[in-house]
Amino acid sequence: MLSNIVRVIADHMENVALHGIKSNVCPKCEVLPGELGTDANSHRARDYARYEHCERESASDDSRTMFETLGIDLEKNVFHGLHRVSAPGLHKPDLLHTVYLGLFKHLVDWISGFLKKHARLQAFDDTWKALPPYPGFFVPKKAYREVTQWQGKEMRNLGRCLLGVLAVALRQPDSRQVIPFKHALDCVRALVDFNMMAQYRSHTPETIAYMEEYLDRFHTMNDIFLEFRVSKRTRAKVDKQRKELRHRRAQSNMRVAPSKRRRRLKDHRDEENELRMDMMHTESHFNFVKMHLLSHFSDHIGQFGNIPMYSTEFGELAHKEQIKDGGRRSNKNDVERQILHSYGRQHAIRMRLLNLNSLRRRGANLGDDVLGYLDKTTSTVSTPAPRGRILKGRRDDVSDVLDFSKVLGISLDRICLELIRYSRHNLPTERRLPEEPAILQLLPVELLTQLEIPVLAFQETNVYDIHRARCTGTHRFRNQESWND
């Protein structure tokens, strides 16, 4: 059988199952579990052909030990024996599971611990709740602490505002907090910037170099959050160490005069804290696989192109159309078969329409009913790119400059002055507005509440995002508060 697979879009645990590897090893390279959290990224690529050769040639204890160290089980690798398939090359970076649901999720926990330690959690919550809207940004409805489950969409949202919210929450540090706050912001900034760069749809050597620089900085600065990476085992060790220490002290204090005991108490507390921090730093680490997978992003861009096109996000979003919608439409009997039939039919109809459209463009003779249906369902004419700004939402309570000044609560003189200033600075002499106040105040005015601004999407030539700037004055917007951008 000749088979050639070039990529597998899967999350880490699916890759673990496909490649027959342990969950704490990388499917692409031979990094050791103890080095996953470091910035060393020059590990040898996995060579499954070599492993097979080793297994065939010497089924000795040595090869078994090597497989154990590298965390592989060849029998469980589904690509085993497919000689035209490069198993390590199949793994693709995944923004959804590696960054949003991986690193960002960890970062949220570390930041929570950090804010709690420095009594800034409330400030963070207040800023979080006061975030203003922005196109494509979902304004959080709940306080940061009230969110119980973070999903991919929320994590992506978080990445867009985290640095700003944290910067506000960590304002005005005292002298002891200056350095840790700066390090925490540096670390968060490095990861957020790395994530932003990873979303670019085209790259240059400079952008790849920036990504590597951000990742290096993240690895350098993340020590600030190490104490919030404490595992249950480490916590138990710390407790045990403290108990032993207190027990030893209790025995020695029996022979100390009560007056001296109080003096020693403070020293003991400091010593306990120091030992606790030492143990936490020794025992805690960032050696988990998602930390390491980031190091393959820049290589991947060089080899295969941008990262978003391989993200599992698209596949997961397709669940809704391909599975959930079909499930809802079914009568719930033999539901799997109905889902498959439903999506298959839709897909076939869409393909049929595309084929008919293609035939139409080539001048094929199609019936009027088919042409009418094609016009209704598929439009071959792309919508023209929006160029100008559009004003919407006319208000009826203003008819001239005089009304305008009353509604805004700004003096008529002030508005006339501004109109004259605008006219002199921006309009050619023959097109200027009249400058006599008596005429100016009677000029007809329409007051509007919304401005649509087409903004060219990043790295696109004909895709526009529409920014809607709203200004309702004192009027309510959709039965909520007034909205003035």
Alpha-carbon dihedral sign for residues 185, 24, 40, 286: positive
- Residue 17 or 412: which CB sits closer to other proteins? 412
* The token pair that represents 108 in the structure block: 């949220």
How far, in Å, CA of 401 to CA of 422, rounded?
A: 15
Q: Residue 29 in contact with residue 293, Cβ under 8 Å?
A: no
Site string for other proteins, 347-376 (x = CB under 8 A): ------------------------------
How far, in Å, CA of 218 to CA of 476, rounded?
A: 45
Instruction: Please pick, from the candidates 414, 424, 475, 476, the single residue that binds other proteins as defined by CB under 8 A.
Output: 414
176 makes contact with other proteins (CB under 8 A): no
CA 162 to chain centre: 10
In the DSSP assignment, the letter for residue 197 is H
Other Cβ atoms closer than 10 A to 225: 21
Neighbour-count burial for 169-199, b at 16+ CB within 10 Å, e otherwise: bbeeeeeeeeeebebbbebbbbbbbbbebbb
484 makes contact with other proteins (CB under 8 A): yes
Q: Which stretch binds other proteins (CB under 8 A): 23-31, 148-156, 372-380, 431-439?
A: 431-439
Per DSSP, the three-state class of 22 is: coil
Site string for other proteins, 434-453 (x = CB under 8 A): x--------xxxxxxxxx-x
136 makes contact with other proteins (CB under 8 A): yes
Nearest to 214 by CA among 192, 197, 190, 198: 190
Q: Which stretch binds other proteins (CB under 8 A): 28-36, 40-48, 123-131, 281-289?
A: 123-131
Instruction: Please pick, from the candidates 115, 187, 215, 415, the single residue that binds other proteins as defined by CB under 8 A.
Output: 415
Instruction: Please pick, from the candidates 132, 205, 258, 367, the single residue that binds other proteins as defined by CB under 8 A.
Output: 132
Q: Give the HSE-up count for residue 437: Cα atoms under 13 Å, Cβ half-sphere.
A: 9
Nearest to 39 by CA among 185, 190, 162, 160: 190
Mark out the alpha helices in 254-311 (DSSP H runs).
258-283, 289-293, 297-304
Structure-derived torsion over alpha carbons of residues 49, 53, 56, 62, reported in degrees to the nearest 10: -110
Per DSSP, the three-state class of 353 is: helix
Instruction: Please pick, from the candidates 81, 135, 302, 305, the single residue that binds other proteins as defined by CB under 8 A.
Output: 135
Instruction: Please pick, from the candidates 60, 69, 378, 459, the single residue that binds other proteins as defined by CB under 8 A.
Output: 459
Instruction: Please pick, from the candidates 71, 140, 159, 326, the single residue that binds other proteins as defined by CB under 8 A.
Output: 159
Q: Residue 281 in contact with residue 229, Cβ under 8 Å?
A: no
Other Cβ atoms closer than 10 A to 214: 21
In the chain, the N- to C-terminal Cα span, in Å, equals 62
Containing 408, the helix (H) or strand (E) segment is: helix 401-408
127 makes contact with other proteins (CB under 8 A): yes
177 makes contact with other proteins (CB under 8 A): no
# residues contacting other proteins (CB under 8 A): 69
Instruction: Please pick, from the candidates 62, 422, 435, 462, the single residue that binds other proteins as defined by CB under 8 A.
Output: 422
208 makes contact with other proteins (CB under 8 A): no
Q: Residue 155 in contact with residue 100, Cβ under 8 Å?
A: yes
How far, in Å, CA of 161 to CA of 156, rounded?
A: 9
| Residues 282-341 within binding reach of other proteins (CB under 8 A) | none
Q: Which stretch binds other proteins (CB under 8 A): 231-239, 340-348, 371-379, 418-426?
A: 418-426
167 makes contact with other proteins (CB under 8 A): yes
40 makes contact with other proteins (CB under 8 A): no
Q: Least distance in Å: CB of 211 to other proteins?
A: 13
138 makes contact with other proteins (CB under 8 A): no
469 makes contact with other proteins (CB under 8 A): yes
Q: Which stretch binds other proteins (CB under 8 A): 140-148, 165-173, 223-231, 294-302?
A: 165-173
Nearest to 161 by CA among 136, 137, 135: 137
- Residue 4 or 172: which CB sits closer to other proteins? 172
457 makes contact with other proteins (CB under 8 A): yes
- Residue 147 or 185: which CB sits closer to other proteins? 185
- Residue 109 or 435: which CB sits closer to other proteins? 435
Instruction: Please pick, from the candidates 165, 221, 224, 356, the single residue that binds other proteins as defined by CB under 8 A.
Output: 165
Q: Least distance in Å: CB of 100 to other proteins?
A: 14
Instruction: Please pick, from the candidates 177, 199, 241, 330, the single residue that binds other proteins as defined by CB under 8 A.
Output: 199
Strand partners, 484: 471
Instruction: Please pick, from the candidates 182, 249, 285, 360, the single residue that binds other proteins as defined by CB under 8 A.
Output: 182
| Residues 371-400 within binding reach of other proteins (CB under 8 A) | 388-389, 391, 398
134 makes contact with other proteins (CB under 8 A): yes
Nearest to 458 by CA among 225, 207, 265, 274: 207
Residues that bind other proteins (CB under 8 A): 127, 130-132, 134-137, 159-168, 171, 181-182, 185, 189, 192-193, 196, 199-200, 388-389, 391, 398, 401, 404, 408, 410, 414-415, 418-419, 421-422, 426, 431, 433-434, 443-451, 453, 455-459, 467-471, 473, 484-485
